[in-house]
């Protein structure tokens, strides 16, 4: 598919910023496990924190195709930075758009969309992965003279921006007897007493984005911070799947594209048997295959995003895009090496 002039303008603006302010520093950030707070402010000024959030909630007012384009460009500069931006957009902002009340949107969505706050999403637990029906983190409602509150206890695992984030959407059990229908969603500011960063994971890459284990130890939040009604947690958690999968696929595409472009440049510099290795047919075949894989992934992603923008169901298409793009990224990166 062809991009509109507006989408091209977004692509050009983000690409120029990333190549100037992010890509030259990515290797150092990864080596030093550095969180790029200042460059993220620049991305916020470009509207990258709330791409599909309407202007009335201080977002960029764009669509999911724009989000896919933006995430590809950021990921081509630094994968970890793209993960920070991806999670803030979807599921965090997308969930708040769909389920937050006006007071919650004013307090949380607007600063998240402006880039003044950073969001995290707490679903996964050590013993159940992302199986929402097996969650053990609990939220008990109390009204003991200190106000109408929920007290959260439990452990969340592999939480992007769990340390550097300002607010987390947390899934917790409010009715054990109700099974999957007993899960509820909560907004938890990370400075709340009882929100504890227990560990930062030692990952193989993407070190500019923190991935944390979070403990909730008698973490008390106002009842007004519950998202939706009690028992809607599973519905809320699943609502971000389409956009989240499109986002992850776009990240994979961007990282793979950067690897391909590095390999292509090198193939024209490295001399073997008297000529650049790009002139050897075996190398050309591998580069051509990688370029084809990249374009196929891009079209799958853009198709899924376009369906979502048209208000059409796209869970299957988003899953296909994520599957193909992530597997493609491994293959293309291996080829580039």
CATH number of 288's domain: 1.20.140.10
Do 76 and 169 belong to one domain? no
Do 99 and 139 belong to one domain? no
Do 309 and 249 belong to one domain? yes
Do 103 and 197 belong to one domain? no
The span from the CA of 190 to the CA of 210, in Å, is 14
How large is the average pLDDT for residues 59-64? Answer: 98
- Please tell me the predicted confidence (pLDDT) of residue 287: 98
CATH number of 225's domain: 2.40.110.10
Going by the DSSP 8-state scheme, the letter that residue 273 receives in this structure is T
What is the dihedral angle through the alpha carbons of 53, 161, 136, 184, rounded to the nearest 10 degrees? -20
Q: Which of 237, 255, 283 is the last residue of a domain?
A: 237
Q: Is residue 130 predicted with pLDDT exceeding 70?
A: no
How large is the average pLDDT for residues 131-143? Answer: 90
Q: Are strands 119-122 and 167-173 parallel, antiparallel or unpaired?
A: parallel
Q: Which domain covers residue 153, as residue numbers?
A: 120-237
- Please tell me the predicted confidence (pLDDT) of residue 46: 98
Do 250 and 231 belong to one domain? no
pLDDT tens figures, 7-48: 999 999 999 999 999 999 999 999 999 999 999 999 999 999
- Please tell me the predicted confidence (pLDDT) of residue 232: 97
Count of domains in the chain? Answer: 3
Do 246 and 184 belong to one domain? no
The span from the CA of 144 to the CA of 118, in Å, is 31
Q: Which of 174, 202, 237 is the last residue of a domain?
A: 237
- Please tell me the predicted confidence (pLDDT) of residue 286: 97
Do 245 and 232 belong to one domain? no
Do 259 and 189 belong to one domain? no
Task: Report the phi/psi class of residue 166: left, alpha or beta, with left for phi > 0 and alpha for psi in -120 to 50.
Answer: alpha
If pLDDT is split at 50, 70 and 90, which confidence band does 2 have? confident
pLDDT over 90 percentage in the chain: 94
Provide the 3-class DSSP secondary structure of residue 127: coil
Do 255 and 229 belong to one domain? no
Do 55 and 106 belong to one domain? yes
Going by the DSSP 8-state scheme, the letter that residue 275 receives in this structure is E
pLDDT tens figures, 268-303: 999 999 999 999 999 999 999 999 999 999 999 999
Q: Which of these ranges, 177-181, 203-207, 248-252, 266-270, has the smallest mean pLDDT?
A: 177-181
How large is the average pLDDT for residues 227-240? Answer: 94
How large is the average pLDDT for residues 102-121? Answer: 98
- Please tell me the predicted confidence (pLDDT) of residue 337: 95
């Amino acid at each position: 598919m062809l991009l509109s002039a507006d989408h091209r303008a977004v692509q050009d603006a983000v690409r120029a910023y990333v190549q100037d302010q992010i890509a030259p520093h990515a290797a150092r950030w990864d080596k030093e496990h550095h969180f790029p707070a200042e460059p993220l402010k620049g991305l916020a000024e470009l509207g990258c924190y709330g791409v599909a959030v309407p202007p009335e909630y201080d977002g960029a007012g764009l669509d999911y195709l724009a989000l896919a384009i933006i995430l590809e460009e950021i990921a081509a500069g630094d994968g970890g930075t793209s993960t920070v931006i991806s999670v803030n957009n979807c599921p965090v902002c997308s969930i708040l758009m769909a389920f937050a009340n006006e007071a919650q949107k004013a307090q949380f969505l607007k600063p998240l969309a402006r880039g003044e706050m950073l969001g995290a999403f707490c679903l996964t637990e050590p013993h159940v992965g992302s199986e929402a029906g097996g969650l053990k983190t609990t939220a008990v409602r109390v009204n003991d003279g200190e106000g109408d509150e929920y007290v959260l206890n439990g452990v969340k695992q592999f939480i992007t921006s769990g340390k550097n984030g300002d607010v987390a959407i947390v899934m917790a059990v409010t009715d054990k007897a109700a099974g999957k229908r007993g899960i509820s969603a909560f907004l938890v500011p990370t400075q709340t007493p009882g929100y504890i960063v227990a560990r930062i994971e030692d990952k193989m890459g993407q070190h500019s984005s923190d991935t944390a284990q979070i403990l909730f130890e008698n973490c008390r939040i106002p009842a007004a911070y519950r998202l939706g009604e009690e028992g809607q947690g599973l519905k809320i958690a699943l609502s971000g799947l389409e956009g989240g999968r499109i986002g992850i696929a776009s990240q994979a595409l961007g990282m793979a594209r950067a690897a391909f472009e590095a390999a292509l440049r090198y193939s024209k510099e490295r001399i073997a048997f008297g000529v650049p290795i790009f002139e050897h047919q075996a190398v050309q075949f591998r580069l051509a295959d990688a370029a084809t894989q990249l374009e196929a992934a891009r079209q799958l992603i853009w198709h899924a995003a376009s369906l979502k923008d048209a208000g059409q169901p796209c869970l299957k298409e988003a899953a296909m895009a994520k599957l193909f793009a992530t597997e493609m990224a491994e293959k293309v990166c291996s080829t580039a090496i």
